[in-house]
Amino acid sequence: MVITRVLSIFFFVVAIGLAVVLVRNIKSKIDDDKRIERQEQLVINKLKMIRDAQVAYLASNGKYTTDFDTLISFIDTGSIYITQRSEEIKMLAYGAEEVTIHIDTIGKVSVKDSVFVVREPLLNLAAGTVQTLNMSEGSTIKKGDLVANILSNTGKTVKIRAPYNALVEKISVREGQQVETGAGLANLSYKRIGNIQNLPYIPESKNNATFEMFAGKVTKGNVVVDVFEAKDTQPVNPLRRKNNNENALRVGSRTEVSVSGNWE
């Protein structure tokens, strides 16, 4: 009887210990997966910025660049021309139409302010009346700041908070104005990257590693086409490190006419 009780207690303790180990292992795996997902998203965001900069560089210079210093200088000082396309249709004597396409340059914007600034509307959450506005045009707001109060049609005050750190470029409403759900209260903007000099560096790398960047030309159907590729050289995901980083996150291609990322 005593032996049975001792064995029961022993196996119970062992079972509890195994359960604790199992739970810890599962939690560790979940935490590791979340860490990898978060870091990979940071890398993807950087690769998207490199792609957008390269596409703008190609539009202005007729080719891609393999040099980050050149790309950063272009972002800092370069411009993108704004064009307007129009068609002129002329009826010919025999009933056919002659179409002439005109491409006119109507202005230009800096690369830094167009490609590397995100502009989004701050949307209203409930139909009602704007009670107060706690922001002004040209001011900066921080994530979580109370920027507006809306008295809803049901009599409840709805608090609108800043979704992220941003610059208030324009306010679209005034206090006392009726607004519908989803209406834009203001236009916000924020920089995609704080310091453009950090563009080449892989996020959270241990030794300030940089992305590998390639630019060249390929022939497709007797046509020579420019291509580029930017690649993560230090994948955090073990599956991406196999076969000499064969599946590392990358954007563009050395052999195909593509600016897609291999996560898309």
Number of domains, the chain: 1
Q: From CA 231, how far away is CA 47, in angstroms rounded?
A: 8
Q: Does pLDDT of 122 surpass 70?
A: yes
Other CB atoms within 10 A of residue 197 CB: 13
pLDDT of residue 2: 65
* 169 within domain boundaries: yes
Other CB atoms within 10 A of residue 20 CB: 10
Q: Given pLDDT bands bounded at 50, 70 and 90, which one contains residue 10?
A: low
CATH code: domain of residue 148: 2.40.50.100
* 126 within domain boundaries: yes
* 1 within domain boundaries: no
Q: What is the pLDDT of residues 45-64, one digit of tens each?
A: 999 999 999 999 998 899 99
Identify the domain containing residue 170 by its residue range: 117-191
> How far apart, in Å, are the Cα atoms of 117 and each of 37, 110, 111, 208?
25, 10, 9, 25
pTM across the whole model: 0.74
Q: Can you tell me the mean pLDDT for 164-170?
A: 95
* 9 within domain boundaries: no
Q: Does pLDDT of 5 surpass 80?
A: no
Residue 173, token pair as written in the block: 């409403």
pLDDT of residue 111: 82
